Structures are given as C-alpha cells and as structure tokens.
Amino acid sequence: MDHDDLNRLQWRCTRRALLELDLILGKFLAEEFPALDEDDKRVFAELADMEDHDLWPLVNGTEACDDARQGRIVAMLRKSGVRQPL
C-alpha cells in the first residue's frame, strides 16, 4: 500500500461511528498492520469498510465470523486490548 492508500485507511479506521472501533482499529493499524502480508492487509481494509454495527459484534465476539479469511484478522482484533485514548 502506498502513502495515499494507507492514509485513507487510517482515516477510515479512526473516524468511525463507534469509539470502540476507533480505539481498536487505530491501534491495530499502528502496531500490527505493518507486519501483515498484502492479502491480509486487503482483508483488513475490507473489514474496515464494514458498517460499525456489523463489524463491532464480530470484534467483540458476540457474533461469530463465518468468513475464514476475515476470521484470522478478526481473531487478532479481538485480542488487541486498548487502555488509553490514542
């Protein structure tokens, strides 16, 4: 991903409707995203494009994720804890 794609993604991760997702996606993008391979990066970007009320239940585990590709990234998001406003 180039500068523009990455910054667009950053905006879409940290200007969400729900604070919960601002915190989790923002931290993931800064800390774990850089080490992903290109396919996983694309999957993450797909997740970030979802509506907040569809994505949040997957990330907090109240709903199961039935897409195997997304499931791996969702599992990483579930584990990533956030203690401070970024």
Partner 1 sequence: MSIPVRKYDAVIVGAGGAGLRAAIQLSEAGLKTAVLSKVFPTRSHTVAAQGGVSASLGNSEEDHWHWHMYDTVKGSDWLGDQDAIEFMCRKAPEVVVELEHFGMPFDRTDEGKIYQRPFGGHMSNFGEKPVRRACAAADRTGHAMLHALYQRNVRAQTQFFVEWMALDLIRDEEGQVLGVIALEMETGEVVAFHAKATIFATGGAGRIFYSSTNAFINTGDGLGMAARAGIPLEDMEFWQFHPTGVAGAGVLITEGVRGEGGILRNDKGERFMERYAPNAKDLASRDVVSRAMVTEINEGRGCGPNKDFVTLDITHLPPETIMKRLPGIREISIQFAGIDPIKAPIPVVPTCHYQMGGIPTNYKGQVVLEDGATVAGFYAAGECACASVHGANRLGTNSLLDLLVFGKSSGDTVIEDLASMPKAHKELPAGFADRTLARLGRLESQKDGADVHETRLAMQRTMQNHCGVFRFKDKLEEGVRKILDIEKQAAQTQIKDKSKVWNTARVEALEFDNLIEVAKATMICAEARKESRGAHVRDDAPDTPEFPNGRDDKEWLKHSLWYRDGNKLSYKPVTLKPLSVETIALKTRSY
Angle at 4 between CA 32 and CA 20, to 5 degrees: 45
CB 66 within 8 A of CB 3: no
Instruction: List the x/- string, 10-49, binding to partner 1 by CB under 8 A.
Output: xxx-xxxxxxx-xxx-x-----------------------
Size of residue set near partner 1 by CB under 8 A:
32
Kindly state the smallest distance separating residue 86's Cβ from partner 1, in Å. Answer: 8
Under the binding rule (CB under 8 A), the answer on residue 64 touching partner 1 is no
**Per-residue tokens: 68:** 């195997």
Under the binding rule (CB under 8 A), the answer on residue 50 touching partner 1 is no
Selected range binding partner 1 among 6-14, 33-41, 64-72, rule: CB under 8 A = 6-14
